[in-house]
Structure 1
Amino acid sequence: MISGCSGGGKSTVLAELKARGHAVVEEPGRRIIAEVTANGGAALPWVDLAAFLRRAIEMALADRLAAERHQGWVFFDRGLVDAASALEALTGDPVLRPLCMTRRYHFRMFMAPPWPEIYVTDADRKHGFDTAVAEYDRLMAAFPALGYEVIALPKTSPAQRADLMLACLNDASGMS
């Protein structure tokens, strides 16, 4: 799994991993925005954030189940922890631990740090850099609290980031 700061290069490194033949699960948030925009509805982060996050949790759970059919590494662009931690922070509902302690990803996960030099807003990412940094800080607390080993991605090329990710995962599994 890769998480971290919005606009920190997660999708770009995942595109590199996909080009190398690895299975990649696209970010739930962007898929929800596309779906809701096409079909109408209010589950958009700037309209009804709680509904958006609940939908992201549902999608992340379905993504995890679907990924079990794949052999080899499956890389997630965000996932259950991201959505559950955001919903808990927003509503105060204690959803993070109950949802995420029994539905685990690999124990090593990768965190894209704030990278102001590449951060941009777009039609789907309307929040500013300060909001993205606050999100990153929340996730940097959530993942270790759930027992994950967090590996910070360096601010390097997508190929170098992908190489690091694969080396860390292969080292953890005894693969070469």
Structure 2
Amino acid sequence: MSDRFIVLSGCSGGGKSTLLEELRRRGHAVVEEPGRRVVQEELAAGGGALPWLDLAAFARRAIATALADRAAMRDHPGFVFFDRGLVDAASALEASGGEPVLDALAAEHRYNRRVFLTPPWPEIYAGDRERRHGFDAALAEYDRLERTYPMLGYETVILPKVPVGERADFVLARL
């Protein structure tokens, strides 16, 4: 396990990427969401591993990306903040009816025991070219992750709905 690897997870459209950018601005190492990068690559290449076309293929690609991200940051000193990560991707694969990989991957590739969850925040939720699901799907994903992380031995901390600077202060104060 790496206590330096901090996961920001939770509700889609809940402000994770904005928080990640604030942490980057403050000098911390950050890793952007694997799923969003997979979607960008698949759209650019005309591929089919997209969550709205083939969720299992998308999740497998996100798992591979998350594993590569961890390996790339292995020797980085200090905290590394991940916008989602391996648990999110493996949980999505299992939810899609794919192979049961979550327990094995999560046991072998641990993050800091404290995971920060962005709660559902309908006032800031917005879809875009890469986030095509609605708020109901975001809520279902949040519910799944809110159950999954504690089942794997993580302590979840729900982020307050406050401006991004205060959110960053909240996260850093708890580490």
TM-score under structure 1 normalisation?
A: 0.94
In structure 1, distance between residues paired with 2:90 and 2:10? 14
Question: Structure 2 matches for 1:144-163, cutoff 5 A?
Answer: 144-163=150-169
SS of corresponding position for 2:174: helix
Equivalent pairs counted in the alignment come to: 169
Q: Which amino acid aligns with 2:34?
A: P
Q: Conserved in 1, the CA contact under 8 Å of 2:56 and 2:98? A: no
In structure 1, distance between residues paired with 2:32 and 2:140? 22
Question: Structure 2 matches for 1:77-116, cutoff 5 A?
Answer: 77-91=83-97, 93-116=99-122
Deviation of the 1:106 alpha carbon: 0.6
In structure 1, distance between residues paired with 2:73 and 2:111? 11
Question: Structure 2 matches for 1:12-161, cutoff 5 A?
Answer: 12-91=18-97, 93-161=99-167
Q: Conserved in 1, the CA contact under 8 Å of 2:51 and 2:58? A: yes
Deviations 1:83-136 (A, max 9, x none): 101111111532110111110011111000000000011100010101000000
In structure 1, distance between residues paired with 2:122 and 2:81? 24
Residue 173 of structure 2 corresponds to residue 167 of structure 1: yes
Structure 1 window deviating more from structure 2 (61-70 vs 17-26): it is 61-70
In structure 2, distance between residues paired with 1:111 and 1:131? 16
Structure 1: 5+ residue runs without aligned partners? 170-176
Report the RMSD for the aligned CA atoms in angstroms: 0.8
| Identity of matched residues, % | 64
SS of corresponding position for 1:81: helix
**Structure 1 counterpart of 2:13:** 7
Structure 2: 5+ residue runs without aligned partners? 1-6
SS of corresponding position for 2:52: coil
Moved segments of 4+, more than 3 Å = none
